[in-house]
Structure 1
Amino acid sequence: MADTDPTPEQEAAARAKEAQEQAALPYKWNQTIGDLDVTMTVPGNLKGRDLVVEIKKQKLKAGIKGQEPIIDGDLPHAISTEESTWTLTSSPDGTKIVEIHLDKVNKMEWWAHVVTGAPKIDVSKITPESSKLSDLDGETRGMVEKMMYDQRQKEMGLPSSDDQKKADILKQFQSQHPELDFSNAKIQ
């Protein structure tokens, strides 16, 4: 039996469950296609030396010294440790916020969770802000735009940009060589 799309009610229930799971986490997180940010609240009397924050290529540990870590686990994907940072800032309510910035190695991948043991989000429901495309460098932006175009084409049952390019090259070659028979030509 083929998979069927969930009903709007099932979809809403899945989103609600996901939101509830994410809200229950002892930290908040969000991401762009290129990086991921984690924030967690700690008591206002703490200083940086009172915290333990370990950022490794595929592991993250953060919390208050002498206590169970607030977050501790393997990252689902690699990060660039040189470009990843953490800061401690005061918030208006008297608490402090630990902000952890993780720079993704693969700038083309959405993460389903921060650490592998945490509840996942449905990355297929992520709609990137189109205004953020302008933040990308030219080559990365071109790749993202091509991926988005190819995805739209695929959804409409139309050829991808690569398929179209091959067809255009064949068409050009055919026009330059009308004496050849291309009726059985297959593009691969």
Structure 2
Amino acid sequence: MVDSEEKFDGILLALAQQHPDGIIELLDTFFNFLARKTDFYTGAPPEVGEKMVLEKFKKYQKVAYAEDEKKKAEREEQERRKEERRKKKEMEEREAANQPKIKELTDEEADALEKKLAAKSEKSPVQSPKEEEKAQEKSEKKGEEEEDEDNKGKIKPNAGNGCDLENYRWTQTLQEVEVVIPLNLKVKSRDVVVEYGRKTIKAGLRNATPILQGELYNEIKVEECNWYLDNGSAIVLSLEKINKMEWWGRLVLSDPEINTQKVAPEPSKLGDLDGETRGMVEKMMYDQRQKEMGKPTSDEQKKQEVLKKFMEQHPEMDFSKCKFN
């Protein structure tokens, strides 16, 4: 039944596209055709033709209202899921903010970190400011040369860290990808076909060659993806990445590749990090500031507190001749 109803959609959409003044002009053409090429008006009493037109009008008026209600419900569901994701993100940020500002490293982690810093210090001899500046310029120049060689032929990303292509454009953050597919005419949501797979995508107009189709650069969360029709003239897709720690080099594998080294991400904040990573970073930052001011680090403070408590619990012992490192 659906195929029978839609088999003329391509022809009718093409016809509608040739009527810039819209529905009124299209109806005028249709009834003009009936008057000139058929006996619609003269083959039966006047009230019969009028009754037929009104019956069909009312029939599909109900269909249109039902479709509109369905679309409204879908939009509300999308907004609800979007609000749930926003609240979930806020909750995660609050939980991260409530994590301890200082996270103690294990003895093994502390030893490994000290060795790494010591090795780095030994390999980096003291340089004068001019020598440091020259070394930095040399390093940057070398990096640019290597980058140009590795990324030769790749496209510079657009302002949204994606790419503007002939039939669509896409942008991205580390969390999601947004795709905008402009259309040359206004359509209804029922004229649009969008299919998601874990690593595939297809989008376009019904009974027409897909505008976007292919294997995605990486996997997406199908259940979190959605789409909507923007003002009837553009399909907008929202794809949530599974791997939120990488920039996509292309949308589908058949697209030209962008130079991800030219991506300009939003400034990172400590609040964007997970609780464990944030705690370790804050501890290292705190310890560094303490060392610069000649004050004890968090580990040293903890040892001093333990020793102080021990001394208070054993006033009978003489600690005056003890040396504490």
Q: TM-score, normalised by structure 1?
A: 0.59
Structure 1, residues 58-84: CA drift from partner, whole Å, max 9, x if none?
A: 000001112211110001211001111
Show structure 1 runs of 5+ residues with no match: 147-168, 170-188
CA radius of gyration, larger in: 2
- 2:244 matches 1:107: yes
Partner residue of 1:67 out of 208, 217, 227: 208
**Match of 1:123?**
260
Show structure 2 runs of 5+ residues with no match: 1-141, 282-298, 300-325
Q: Which one has the bigger strand percentage? A: 1
**Match of 2:274?**
139
Partner residue of 1:76 out of 217, 223, 242: 217
- 2:174 matches 1:39: no
Shift of the 56–17 alpha-carbon distance from structure 1 to 2, 3 Å rule, reads closer
**Match of 2:117?**
none
The secondary structure found in structure 1 opposite 2:240 is strand
Give the alignment of 1:84-99 within 5 angstroms.
Answer: 84-90=225-231, 96-99=233-236
Structure 1, residues 34-71: CA drift from partner, whole Å, max 9, x if none?
A: 10000011144311110111111100000111221111
**Aligned partner of 2:249: which letter?**
A
Structure 2 CA distance for aligned equivalents of residues 75 and 127 of structure 1: 22
The secondary structure found in structure 2 opposite 1:120 is coil
The secondary structure found in structure 2 opposite 1:130 is coil
- Give every structure 1 segment of 4 or more consecutive aligned residues whose post-TM-superposition deviation is greater than 2 Å: 4-7, 14-20, 22-25, 131-134, 140-143
**Match of 1:58?**
199
Q: Which one has the bigger helix percentage? A: 2
Report if aligned partners of 1:83, 1:102 keep a CA contact under 8 Å in 2: yes
Structure 2 CA distance for aligned equivalents of residues 96 and 118 of structure 1: 23
Report if aligned partners of 1:133, 1:141 keep a CA contact under 8 Å in 2: no
How big is the alpha-carbon RMSD for the aligned residues of Structure 1 and Structure 2?
3.7
Report if aligned partners of 2:155, 2:256 keep a CA contact under 8 Å in 1: no
Number of aligned residue pairs: give it.
Answer: 138
The secondary structure found in structure 1 opposite 2:274 is helix
Shift of the 18–25 alpha-carbon distance from structure 1 to 2, 3 Å rule, reads farther
Q: Answer with 97-106 or 123-132: which moved more.
A: 123-132
The secondary structure found in structure 1 opposite 2:265 is coil
Shift of the 44–107 alpha-carbon distance from structure 1 to 2, 3 Å rule, reads same
Q: TM-score, normalised by structure 2?
A: 0.36
- 2:166 matches 1:25: yes
Shift of the 133–109 alpha-carbon distance from structure 1 to 2, 3 Å rule, reads farther
Structure 1 CA distance for aligned equivalents of residues 275 and 262 of structure 2: 22
